[in-house]
Structure formats: structure tokens, C-alpha cells
Chain A
Amino acid sequence: MDVDLELVSSAPSPPVVAVMVAHDPGPWFDESLAALRAQDYPNLRVLFLLTGQDPGLESRIGAVFPDAPLRNLPTNPGFGAAVNDVVRLVEGDQGFFCFLHDDIALAPDAVSQLVAEVYRSNAGVVGPKLLEWADPGRIQSVGMRVDRFGAAVGIAERGDSDQEQHDAVRDVFFLSTACLLVRADLFRALGGFDASIEYHGDGLDLCWRAHLSGARVMVVPAATARHRSDLAVRRPDVAAQADSARQGLLTALASSSGVRSVFTLLLAPLVGVVAAVAGLFTGMAKSGLAMLAAAGAGITHLPGVLHRRRAVQRLRTVPDREITPLQARGSLQLRLLFRRRHDAEEVRDRTRVARRSLRTAGKLAMGAWVSIAVLFVIGSRSIIGRKMPVVGTFLPIPSSPTDLFGTYGSGWWPSGLGRSEAAPSGVGLLGLANAVSLGHPGLLRMLLVLGPVVLGFIGMFHFAAVFRSTRSRVAALVAYVVNPLPYAAIAAGRWGPLAVYGAFPWALELLRRASGIQAASSVLDEDGVEITDAVAVVGIGRQVRLAAALALLEAVVAAFVPSFPLMVLVSAVVLAVATLVARGTLASLAGLGTAAIAGVAAFVLHVPWSIRFMERGGWGELMGNGEHVGSLGLARIARFEIGRVPLAPLSLALLVPFFVGILLAKGWRLTWMARAAALVLPFGGLALASDAGSTLPESGVLLVPVAVGLAIAAAGAVSAFDEDVRGGRIGWRQPLGLATFIALGVAIVPALAGVGSGQWQAPGSELAGTLGSLPSNPPTGDFRILYLGDSRLLPIPGREYRDGVSYAISDDGSLDALDSWAPRSSAGDALVINALDAIRSNATLRGGHLLAPLGIRYIIVPLIDGLQSRRGQPLPAPKGLEDAFSDQVDLRRATYVSDQAIVFENTASLPLRSLLVGRTQMASQTAGPMALAHTDFSEFIPVFVGQEAPSAAGDSISGSTPGSLHDSIGKDPRWRLTVNGASVAPRSAFGWSMAYDLPDGGKVRLSYSTSFGRRLAVAVQVLLWLLVIVATSRFRSWRRWLVRRRHSVEAPSDPLIRMDDPIGGPSS
């Protein structure tokens, strides 16, 4: 062995080309250059690739390496893509490439040691021991291990003292790209770095491919280098954990064997879920969610993975079993989570006390989350364990995703009396959610009720990270969790406030990121004054991505709460104003722009459905058309008591931290208190205005920003106590600060008291019981139901008739989520209103006849919904309604239902679709209420019974019973009837509906022809949604692809360096 080493040392030194990529480096760069200049390796050439905009960089390099070739890249394609150019720029395979970051300072013998070890161990890729830049006595990295999911962890814990405990040369799975010596021929054979990887995971990918090709990857501790590794500071826009997790998993999927990859793909989501949930309890939710997101990316990027696999597997010369011993077993991610190890980056600079504090904070967060989770599950046990009650807007979801997609794609919207118009986009989203739930609508409904609440908790905790201290984050979390609003919303059966409760903290978080507002430290500026705001410049790409994410979030919520984008915009405005008032940074205006763009994008994502909001009456529709929970008054609004909440007055304690924070906070904390006030006060005012009857979203929805503001205020007050009060002189501030903690303790009581109900005081399914006793798809034909009564009690959105009385129309069977969207007014509504007018004024006692052509068989007057009207405190039926309807001689009072509603059955009703014969057929050619009032509606045969598919129905009609097929919908040319394949022309019936005169019977088919425009609109809409989704995640991939193409075109044909040339030769 010694002989061999001597032979090596006596041979001519093989050429090494050091390739350093520089991107606007800081002052340390001179040190990096000097260290590179000081290398003792004799055959070393240096090539600089410049990707930044710093005009003085060339002169800085020239001062140290006057003859070194420089190559300016037009953009920054990422480290891997940049260094790949050496394949063209450097000629020759008999040497090595040494790839370097611009923030590394090599020890003088580093290159020599690396080259020596390559020869000694016959390695393909080697790297040095990386030490902390500022403290070379601490290890940064001596190589990395990786698990089957591509999750990596250092062999040495970052920040450990370097006591030579890792100084053995060893095979590792992969190395940092900060300094990587690669055999030139191997690098060319591997095809260089994967250019699609921009920041994290490029080293893993290269090394994994090197392993597959049979090359060894080794760490050479004898070679050392100091490394800054401050990408997080230089590029705050790069989500390190998410990027690492995603790229790691994609690399693993591309590089593992086929069977192993399939298992990895299947296991990844499970691990992701476990990691995300465990992360919640360990204060490491971000890494857990990163894993979950990576699992999602593994599925969404499958085509790209397969493409990469084809290229990678061509390199394979060794089986997986020779590589896997270098890998860690199981999931490193889960091991880290369960061992409660803290992010090394956070720990590295901390003292022992600080570390203990961090661990304590972790325990606090974990304790808070565990408590919240346990109490929430106990409080929701009936909702989780039993059938979810059908109350308020918690309507069942249709069980068939296909039907939902069909309804969404069709141009026929069957809600109410039906009409040709774009179905709400929410129908498509419900179909998607239903498909994801694998056709478990009950489970989906439960998740849709409880899920937003949990998302809101997580979102608030996430958002509160801007306060840095875990105590503050936990305070914000607690203040948001104990706020009675979500539980009151469940008790009131209001889904809108729940959806906004879940989404609003996330929207604010996106606005914050778009504004560049960062977590601030309590540091003094040059003038000795604490800063009022911490901001970072946000690149345009990141702005676009954030705007796309916000647009996506807004669009999803707006599908069910159309006013949500407007609320976010208003929030952005008030936050910007508050920031200016608090003399914060003008960067908040960027959030305003993002909110505006996202709002417009959300509107566009819902076109054509959203166009209705631009039309007459659109404002009312946008605001939810008067959906409300009754007049609550100032006191209940202040207590967030939109539904039943036990001991609700105690929740007023949530206001204490708000006032305390304003009085105590300083610096950037006061700025956040101003922002909290900007949410609490204007939205509180709007909620009151809504409560007083203004055309605004329901007060429950408007109270969500107030709840968020109070949570921020709680975090601000705790932060102020910790940083501005604690440790100071004893005075009025200390007891005031302590009042925050006492108030939060008091405010917990209402939430705790609500736990006992098991379903947060939500009543049982009241009206559903009544509806359950009505026939569904009876042999007498399908029918419609007219809900008429107090506007506060209608189970689905209705249309105001007069003096607090509204009506709504649904098909037979149970109400479902499709009835949540109020249909637009149509000609049929005029018939309903005329009939109601006639009944109301006693102009006829044949009101049922007037409603007959509409297919209305039942009229339901809700009395008790368990929410606004309860058995103990029932709302009276509208004055005169029962008398007026009881007088109608063609209405039968149904007695088999309970006291929840008065039900009248229309004995004159026609089925939705029927074959009219005899006198009824004759009468169908007449029109007008007087004719209707004495029409004999008894001669018909029901057809298409139970065929409620929106776009087609078929039936056989006996040839001996010709008549007129009557369809209880307004005249619409897109409906087509065929008998034995031959079209039959429609005619108007009863002055409104459609009839087809059938000369003979036969096979009859009624179908709706969706217009090309509607199909195109759906296609464009789906495409737009996909584009926005892509823009939120992989926007950079195609941009980088473009850059690479442009870069390759511009690459010179002549190499800059020839390895075979002697040092000092033409290319040196």
C-alpha cells in the first residue's frame, strides 16, 4: 500500500478544474478567493461562473485570479444547471472537477487531500469536512445519510465540536455541493447535475447516480473547509424544508429500483400524514407539512419522475442492495420528530440556556396542541362518532362524484325551478372532494365542518410564527382556539363562518409573505431605536407564486362564501393603513397589490359563474343575499355569540390582551398591535352593520377577522410582556401584563363548557325529520317542494317575498349541498309570486292549481329549525300564512309530520314530468291564473320517475296513450325530446312550462344539449385552475427550462479550459 501511495505521489498531478459559482457574494468572498488562491495543489485551474448582477465582481476576482476565465450567465439557473456548463467549457476527461460555492474557504491542502484520497480509495466523488465559517471548531457536515424517501440527515450533528471524532475517511451516501471533487469522466458520464433542481437536493441526486454507476462517494476529513451555508439569509424566498423534502423524494423515486420506488410512493403519503400530525405536537409542523407536501408532489410529478427514471436507470451498474446499506432504515423524518430534535439551524448558535429554553418552548407548544386536540376531539365526539346533524347549512353532500361533475359540466342548473346557466364552480369542487373521499359523503361532510376549524388553528399558529417566541405563538393559538366563533357557528349551523375561520389566517399569512414582513428580532437600529417592522425584499417570482396561492385559496373559499376575496382585500387595505399609522414599512402595500391581483384572479377562476356578481343584484348575491342569523345586537356580536355558546360573556376576556398589548407593546410589537386593531375594529363595525341589516356578508363571517385580530393581539401582548415588561422595574406594567394571562385563562371557560355537548351545542336534525316523511320518487311522479315562511327559518337560501317572508324551491327527496346556492330569478318565479299574491289576498282558493304547472306538490312552512326557532322559544309562523293556505281548497294539510313545520300537499300538482292526456292535455294550451284556477290537473301519467339526472331522461310510453309530455321547466330550446329517435317540437304549456305533443307512444328520450360555449368555458376554467396550481408550486421549473435552453444556445463552441494543457499554457 505504501508503494502505491509513493507511486501516486511521484506521478504528475492530474488536472483539477475548480469551478466556483458566484452569485452576488458578500464581503466574505474575498476570503473565499484567497483560500482558493492559497491551494497547494500544483495542477489546479480555476473557472468562475457568475450568475448575479454585481458589476464589481469581475474586478474582485481579477484582483486575485487575473488570468482565470470568467463566464457570465445571463440569469441564475441554479447551482447545478450553472456548473453543468463545464462539460462544454472544459475539454478533457483525465482530471477532476472541483465544484465550489462562493461562500466556502478551503484549507490550503484541501484539494490535494481530496485528490490523494480519490486515488487512494478509487472514489468517484469526494468532499471535505465542512466546518462552521465563524467557528471552525464546530462541524457543519461530514457527509449525509438518506432514507428511502430521500430525507437526509447529517452523519454528524451540526454544531458539534470538532474533536476529530469524525475524521475517518468513509463512504457516505451523499455530500454537500459546497465543495465536491468529481472525476471529470464520471461527471460527463452522469450527465452532470440535474438542472431541474435549483437549490436543494442537487448533491443527493448526483451522488445517488454516482452510486448507481458503481462509483464511491466519500468524505475526506483530512480536507477541511469553512462554509457559511446561509442560503436562508441570501435567499429567504426559498422554502428550504419543502424544497429539500420534495426534491429528495423525487430523486428517491427516480433512482431506486422499480419495486422499491412503488413502495416508496405508496408509503410516502402515510409517512407525510404521520409526520404532519406529529409535527403539530412537537412544534415542528413545518417539516411535517413539508413531508406531506413532498408526498403530494411525488404523485403530481409522476410523469417527470418517470422521465428522470429512464435516464437514471440507464446509468445503473449495481443493484439497490449494494447501495441501501449506506441508507438509513425507516423514515429519518419520523425519527427526528419523535426524538424531538430541533432544527439544527436554530440550535447551532444557541447557548445551553437558550437550548433549554427552546426545549421548554417546544414542550409548551406540544402541550398546547395536545390539549387542544384532545378537547376538540372530545367536544366533537358526537359529530365524529355519529351521524352529523342536518342543520342550517350543514346539508348532506350528494354521494355520486359523477353526478356532481355532470351537473357542473352541464349548462343546465337544476336548482330551484331550473334554468340554463353556469353551475357554481363549487359544485365541481364538491365533486372533486367527493372523489377524493372515495365516495364517502358523510365523512366528507364531517371533515368539511370540523376541518376548517382545525385548519384555522394550524393557520393561526403558523401565522403567529412572526412573533418568533413560542409563548407568543401559543398565546395566539389559544386566543384563536378559545374564541367562541367556530363553536357558535357549528351550533348555528353556519358553514360560511367556519370556512372563513379556517382560511383567513392562511390568507393573512400569504399577504404577510407577499409584503415581505418577517419575524423581527428586538434589535436596535443605527439610531438606537428598536425597529418598527422587519421586512425582506420579495422577488417577482415569489410574488407571483404567493399571489397564485392566495388566489387559489380565495377561489376555493369563494366557491362557497363569494365575499371572501373582498374580505381579504379589505383586510389588506386596513392592514396597510394600520402599518402606515404605526410607521411600519411601506412594504405592506405590496400585500395590497397581491390581494387585489389574487381577488381578480379568484373572480376569473369562477367565470362564468362569477359573472352574476357583476350583474344587477350581484352585490346582494356576492354578500350572500341576506343570509344571516337574525339580529344579534352589540353584546352578542362582541361575544361572538352567533349561536348558542355556554357562558359566552366570559369570552369578552379576549378583549383584555388587545387593550393590554396596545398599552405595553413597543417597537415592532406595537406595529403588530396596530395591525390587530385594524382587523378588530373595522370588521367589528362591519359585523354590526351586517347585523343591523346592511347588505354585507353575514355577521359570523365578518367576525372572523376580529377573532384573528384578537389572537394577534394576544400574541403581541405576551410578546410585549416578555420583552418590554418582564425584568423591568416593578410598576403598573407588570400587573397589566399578567392580566393578559389571566384573561386568556378566563376566556378558555366558554370553550371548555361547550365540550360537554359533544357537538358544540348543535341541535339535532330538526327539519330533516319532516322532510324524511315526504315521499321520494313516488310512483305518482317526481315533484318540487316550496319552502315558505320566515326568512330566518328557510333551510336553504331563498328569495324574499315580502315582510320577512321568503320562499325557496327544491326537488323532492332530501335537501343537499346543491341547494346551498340560491338559484337566480326566472320566469317561473313570477308564477310563484303571482300564486302567493293570490293566496295572500284571497283572490282565489285554488292556489294549488296556480302552483301545479311548477310541479310543486308540497308547501312546507318551517316552524322549528333548532337554531333560530327552538321548541322552548319558537318563532311564530308568519302572520296570516297558515290561515291563507288553510283556506285553499286544493291544498291538503299533512298531519303526519311533527311540530317542526306545517306541511300542505297540493292535490292539484302535476309531476315534474308527465304525459298529459284528456282534459289536462287540452288545458295545457291555456294560460293565465284564471284558466289555471279551474284546470283539471287530474289526467296525467307520470314519466321519467326518479330520473333526476340533470341532462337526460328516458322512458317508454305506450303507443295507445298519445298525449302531451309535460316538463315543468321554463321554455328552453336546449332541451330536446325524441320519440323513437325522431325529434318532437316543444310548445309552451300553461303559459310557462314546456310540452311536446306526442302523436304516438314509443321510446321517449328527453335530453339537454350542453352548448359548445359552456363546454369551452368549463375547459378554460379547469385549465385556469391548473395553471394557478402550477403557478403556486412548480412555476420555477419551466422558467428554468427556458433559461437552460437560452443558455445552451449561447454556449461557446470553443472550450475555455483544456485539461491536457500544462499550467501556464493557452487555457490555464
Chain B
Amino acid sequence: MNRRLLLVVLVLGSLVGLFVFGTESENPGASTFSVLGPPGMPFAPTQVGINSSWFCAGVPATSQRGGDVIVTNPTAVPLRGRITVFSTSRKVVMQDISVGARDSGSFALEKLATGDYLSAFVELDGGLGIVEQRVRHPNGRSLSPCSNAPSSNWYLADGITLSAGYDLVVTNPFPDYTNITVSVLTADGVRTPAKLQNQTIAGQSVLKIDLEQFGLRDEQLLAVEVNSTPERVVVSRAQNYYGGLGRNGYAMTLGAPSTDNRWFFADGEKAGNTSESLTLLNPSELPASVTVQVFTATEGGDEFVAVQIYDVAEGSVVKVDVDAITGLPNGRHTLVVDSPEVGIVAEQVITRGSGGGAVTVVSLGARVSSKRWWVPTALQDVNEAAMVVMNQTGDSGTFSLFTLGPGGLQPVPGFQKVALPVASDFVGGFVDVDLSGTGLIGQPILVETTVDSVVLRRPNRGTGMKGRTSVLAVPEI
């Protein structure tokens, strides 16, 4: 073959090859370090790790007030760990703790440190274990699981200062200072108190912010957003209700560390002496179309499904009066709040009359799916509606109860494979668990379901106060 022809053939062949196999430029994509989602609701870890960390909301520690950190060890070996107590007085106290196998330990924070508020950071070696805090307050006890992670953003959808005290409790568990910015949404719009913009919080300390001192008095609706930088924080709300809007009692609750698209509420009720509302906060920059569904189906009962759609503008809060939903019958019900496009925060406010008084419970909805839920802090007394188990699915299932004792998990007689109904083709079926007569006092309880569920406990207020609060159980994830 002619030299030139051979060369031309080879060159053309090679060029075709280069064009065929040559890659197009790829847009630089993001690499991935971790796929952990944003912090959500407290959960019980199931994987053995190096250690697990729990950030508690904080407890008041002035006269007649205090609180405990309750550590539950579901494992067969003693659990070691440390409690680090941060304080508004900026003193940091660390104490080693130990909890026996399949046991719980309670640690009173006011005995470890002093300050208006004390926050506990609990680390458990090995990773397993569950931590909650319980406030002892003259106006009632308030139980809440501790958070698994701090966050840069916290949302508290509900709140009032009309005949009510409102302390925002911000804990900085990191060694360095951080700055927070507090934005408050009221019925009149957004309020940004100057002193709460770039407010510095020293490292490993607690900051109490009495909202009334920042011109937020007599507010009937008060949603709070806290952003921090550079470090993350833990934010909670201490509300002491003195009758404003009919509310009463004391509640210390963690904020929501992130928004979500779906919230489950297992403890709705319509009755003559009960008022119930939902507070929907949309902190995003997009308007949200929020669907509220109410389900009344119980085992063998009637079924009522109401669907209401609410528009929640960007950066606004909307209050939904559940009692006013047309056709909602008296009695117990569950609610599901959906905002498929925009993440929101939804809280339920329910005030129940009790012995001539009333008790108000403000609680975040559940937003995870799990088939195992722990009631780690033992119920002080048990009664006919000590717990509620809500079906998260459109399939019927069962649930079983177990108690944690020295011998491990023991099935509770009469509560094995109890039917968990379906409210509709969708979600919302629930069962009120009547534990009266079971004697399940002083023991952690595990609820195991065959379908994804939400479990809520309803402990008595304690401290001689009548009525109950409601607190979500702790899901295993």
C-alpha cells in the first residue's frame, strides 16, 4: 500500500476512535462524605458505636425547680458515660455515670450545678441507651426526650406571652462561642429584637431569653426561629401558662431542629372541656399548601376523615382550630399534617379540663417511621389511656408490649399482637392503650408493631397536679 494512503487510513481510523471513545466534559458534581439527614426527632440508636450523645433541653434550677436526666440502659451490660452540665452561670460540671444492665438511672441536675437553667449533655459509651429529661416544676412535671444532635436552626411554632411566661433556653455545647439570631413571628408580622441579633453565647453555656423582656408581651401567637453560627446549639422553650387563652400548666419542650413535610399527631381529642389547635410554621421562602387530615377510627368504632387545606405564606405562622373542623365528632382522633412541597413545623396545642382546672400540652408531631418505640422513663402511674399507638400506614397490623427488667424484655400479658386498625385506606388508625391494672410502674416499656407506627405516652402531671401531659415515645432508628 502507498505510504501516504496507509498513513491517512491509520490517522483517520485513530481520529474516529478518539471521537467515539472520547468523553464529554462532566459537570463537576458534589462529592459525598456523609448521607446523614438533618437532625430530626430524638431517636434510640440501634447500632453499637463509639459513644452516643444526647443534648437535653434544659431544666430550671431556681427554688422548687429542678430536673433529672434519666438514662435507660436496654443492654445486658452496665452502661458507662458522662454527664456534662452547662449552666446559665457558665460553669461546666462533668460527672461520670453508670447505669446497670437493663436498668435506668436518674441524675438530678440541680445537685450537680447551679444556675437559672441547667442543660445536660450526656455521652454514653458504646452508643446504646436512651436519655430523657424531666423537669420538676411547681406547675407540673414536664418530660421530654433529649436531642441526638445540635443544630444551626431551631423552630418553635407555638407560643404565647398572654398571661404566660416564655423562656427561650439556648444551650451552646461547643467549646467556642457562637452567635444566635432570634426571629419572632407574631400576629403582627416578623419581629427581630435588636439585642437578639448576633447575640453571643459563650462556649459550653446556657442562655435564657425571657421574651417578655424584648417587647413581646401579651402575644397570642408567637413563633420563634433561632439561627446560630458558627457553632450549633440546642433550643428549647419553657412555657408557664397562667390562663392566657385558657392555657394552664408548665411545659419544657425541645424545638424542632429542622422542618419536615409530614407530621403525625396521635393525641387529638374533642370534648366539652378540651380545646385543640395546630400551629403551622412555614419558615421557608416559599408559600406552603398544608393539608390537615383528621381520623377518628378506632377499633370497632366509626370512621371520620376530614381534610382541610391551609395556605401558609412564606415566613408566616397559621393557627388551625381543630375543634372548628366541620363534622368532627367528639372523642379521640389523630391528625396528619402534610406539606409535600415545602418543609414546615407543626405543633399541637391541647388543653384539657381536669378537676376544675386545665392542663395544656404543646407538642411537636412525630415525623419518623419505626416499628419499635421505647417508653424509657417509667410511667409513675398507669391508667386507661396511658399510651396511644397510631398506625402510620394504610395496612392493619398489631402491636405488642414488653417491659425491660433484669431478665431482659418480657412480654406484657394481654398486650401481645393487639390489633392496630386502619383509619382509612391511608393512615391514622389508633389504639388507646389501657394499662390500668397491669402494674407496669417503674419499668421501661418497649412497644413493637408490625407496621410503621407512632407511640405516644400520656403521663400524669405529677407534683400533685391533676391531668396528663402527652409525650412521644422514643423510636428506634
Chain A interfacial positions (CB closer than 8 Å to B): 532, 581-583, 630-637, 662-663, 670, 673-674, 677, 681-682, 684-685, 688, 691-692, 788-792, 801-805, 838-846, 850, 868, 875-881, 883-884, 886-887, 889-895, 905, 907, 929-930, 933-934
A634-B22, A674-B7, A889-B121 in contact; A805/B173 too (CB < 8 A)?
no
Report how far A875 CA is from B26 CA in the complex, Å.
Answer: 13
Of all chain A residues, which has the CB nearest B11? Answer: A677
A842 cross-chain contacts in B, Cβ below 8 A: 34, 36, 49, 148-149
Complex contact B17–A887 (CB within 8 A): no
Complex contact A875–B125 (CB within 8 A): no
A673 cross-chain contacts in B, Cβ below 8 A: 7
B33 cross-chain contacts in A, Cβ below 8 A: 788, 801-803, 805, 840, 878-881, 884
Report how far A183 CA is from B150 CA in the complex, Å.
Answer: 103
Complex contact A631–B50 (CB within 8 A): no
Complex contact A803–B8 (CB within 8 A): no
B30 cross-chain contacts in A, Cβ below 8 A: 790, 804, 875-879
Question: Could you list 26 A-B pairs, sorted by A, with CB under 8 Å?
Answer: A630-B28, A633-B22, A633-B24, A634-B24, A677-B11, A789-B31, A791-B31, A803-B33, A804-B30, A805-B33, A839-B34, A841-B36, A841-B47, A842-B34, A842-B148, A844-B49, A879-B31, A879-B32, A880-B32, A881-B33, A886-B232, A889-B121, A895-B230, A933-B51, A933-B125, A934-B123
| CB of B460, distance to nearest CB on chain A (Å) | 34
Complex contact A581–B7 (CB within 8 A): yes
Complex contact A691–B50 (CB within 8 A): no
Complex contact B123–A846 (CB within 8 A): yes
A895 cross-chain contacts in B, Cβ below 8 A: 230
A581 cross-chain contacts in B, Cβ below 8 A: 3, 6-7, 10
User: Which of B6, B26, B31, B82 lies in contact with A805, CB distance below 8 A?
Assistant: B31
Complex contact B23–A633 (CB within 8 A): yes
Complex contact B10–A677 (CB within 8 A): yes
Complex contact B34–A840 (CB within 8 A): yes
Q: Which of B1-60 contact A (CB under 8 A)?
A: 3-4, 6-8, 10-11, 14-15, 17-19, 21-26, 28-36, 38, 47, 49-51, 53
Report how far A636 CA is from B173 CA in the complex, Å.
Answer: 49
Asked if B426 lies at the interface with its beta carbon under 8 angstroms from chain A, I say no
Asked if B310 lies at the interface with its beta carbon under 8 angstroms from chain A, I say no
Asked if B408 lies at the interface with its beta carbon under 8 angstroms from chain A, I say no
A838-B49, A887-B150 in contact; A892/B175 too (CB < 8 A)?
yes
| CB of B175, distance to nearest CB on chain A (Å) | 5
Complex contact A880–B7 (CB within 8 A): no
Report how far A788 CA is from B31 CA in the complex, Å.
Answer: 12
| CB of B79, distance to nearest CB on chain A (Å) | 12
Complex contact A846–B50 (CB within 8 A): yes
Asked if B210 lies at the interface with its beta carbon under 8 angstroms from chain A, I say no
A682 cross-chain contacts in B, Cβ below 8 A: 14
A581-B6, A892-B175 in contact; A688/B34 too (CB < 8 A)?
no
| CB of A777, distance to nearest CB on chain B (Å) | 22
A685-B17, A840-B33, A879-B31 in contact; A662/B232 too (CB < 8 A)?
no
A677-B7, A879-B34 in contact; A845/B18 too (CB < 8 A)?
no
Complex contact B28–A875 (CB within 8 A): yes
| CB of B227, distance to nearest CB on chain A (Å) | 13
Complex contact A887–B232 (CB within 8 A): yes
19 further A-B contacts with Cβ under 8 Å, apart from A631-B28, A677-B7, A879-B34, are A631-B26, A636-B25, A670-B3, A670-B4, A681-B15, A684-B18, A802-B33, A805-B33, A838-B50, A842-B34, A845-B123, A875-B28, A880-B34, A881-B34, A884-B33, A889-B53, A930-B51, A933-B51, A934-B123
Asked if B424 lies at the interface with its beta carbon under 8 angstroms from chain A, I say no
Report how far A845 CA is from B36 CA in the complex, Å.
Answer: 13
A630-B28, A662-B8 in contact; A691/B23 too (CB < 8 A)?
yes
Complex contact A633–B7 (CB within 8 A): no
User: Which of B8, B17, B25 lies in contact with A633, CB distance below 8 A?
Assistant: B25
Complex contact B121–A884 (CB within 8 A): no
Complex contact B51–A934 (CB within 8 A): yes
User: Which of B3, B19, B82 lies in contact with A634, CB distance below 8 A?
Assistant: B19
Of all chain B residues, which has the CB nearest A689? Answer: B21
Interface size counted on chain B using CB atoms at 8 A: 51
| CB of A322, distance to nearest CB on chain B (Å) | 65
Complex contact B7–A582 (CB within 8 A): yes
B34 cross-chain contacts in A, Cβ below 8 A: 839-842, 879-881, 883-884
Report how far A737 CA is from B49 CA in the complex, Å.
Answer: 73
Asked if B127 lies at the interface with its beta carbon under 8 angstroms from chain A, I say yes
A634 cross-chain contacts in B, Cβ below 8 A: 18-19, 22-25
Of all chain A residues, which has the CB nearest B173? Answer: A889
B148 cross-chain contacts in A, Cβ below 8 A: 842
Report how far A843 CA is from B239 CA in the complex, Å.
Answer: 34
**Chain A interface, >50% SS class:** mixed
Report how far A214 CA is from B466 CA in the complex, Å.
Answer: 132
Of all chain B residues, which has the CB nearest A850? Answer: B50
B218 cross-chain contacts in A, Cβ below 8 A: none
Complex contact A843–B47 (CB within 8 A): yes
A582 cross-chain contacts in B, Cβ below 8 A: 3, 7
Asked if B176 lies at the interface with its beta carbon under 8 angstroms from chain A, I say yes
Complex contact B230–A792 (CB within 8 A): no
Complex contact B53–A685 (CB within 8 A): no
Q: Which of B44-91 contact A (CB under 8 A)?
A: 47, 49-51, 53, 82
A879-B31, A889-B173, A893-B231 in contact; A632/B25 too (CB < 8 A)?
yes
| CB of B174, distance to nearest CB on chain A (Å) | 6
A631-B26, A633-B22, A886-B231 in contact; A803/B123 too (CB < 8 A)?
no
B47 cross-chain contacts in A, Cβ below 8 A: 841, 843
Complex contact B32–A804 (CB within 8 A): yes
Report how far A803 CA is from B32 CA in the complex, Å.
Answer: 6
Complex contact B26–A633 (CB within 8 A): yes
Q: Which of B364-420 contact A (CB under 8 A)?
A: none
Asked if B289 lies at the interface with its beta carbon under 8 angstroms from chain A, I say no
Top 8 A-B pairs, shortest CB-CB distance: A633-B25, A804-B31, A880-B34, A634-B22, A843-B49, A893-B230, A881-B33, A844-B50
Report how far A933 CA is from B174 CA in the complex, Å.
Answer: 15
| CB of B199, distance to nearest CB on chain A (Å) | 16
Complex contact B7–A843 (CB within 8 A): no
Complex contact A631–B23 (CB within 8 A): yes
Complex contact B152–A886 (CB within 8 A): yes
Asked if B244 lies at the interface with its beta carbon under 8 angstroms from chain A, I say no
Report how far A929 CA is from B126 CA in the complex, Å.
Answer: 10
| CB of A592, distance to nearest CB on chain B (Å) | 19
Report how far A884 CA is from B17 CA in the complex, Å.
Answer: 45
Report how far A1049 CA is from B31 CA in the complex, Å.
Answer: 76
A845-B53, A846-B50, A890-B175 in contact; A880/B36 too (CB < 8 A)?
yes
A684-B18, A889-B174, A893-B231 in contact; A790/B7 too (CB < 8 A)?
no
Report how far A786 CA is from B18 CA in the complex, Å.
Answer: 40
Most chain B CB inside 10 Å of its own CB: which residue of A631, A682, A838, A877? A631
Report how far A504 CA is from B1 CA in the complex, Å.
Answer: 32
A674 cross-chain contacts in B, Cβ below 8 A: 3, 7
Report how far A886 CA is from B22 CA in the complex, Å.
Answer: 41
A850 cross-chain contacts in B, Cβ below 8 A: 50
Report how far A670 CA is from B82 CA in the complex, Å.
Answer: 81
Complex contact A662–B50 (CB within 8 A): no
Of all chain A residues, which has the CB nearest B15? Answer: A681
| CB of A20, distance to nearest CB on chain B (Å) | 47
**Bitwise interface map of B from 129 to 169 toward A, beta carbon under 8 Å scored 1, else 0:** 00000000000000000001110100000000000000000
Of all chain B residues, which has the CB nearest A879? Answer: B32
B35 cross-chain contacts in A, Cβ below 8 A: 879-880
Report how far A380 CA is from B319 CA in the complex, Å.
Answer: 66
Report how far A845 CA is from B38 CA in the complex, Å.
Answer: 15
Report how far A930 CA is from B125 CA in the complex, Å.
Answer: 7
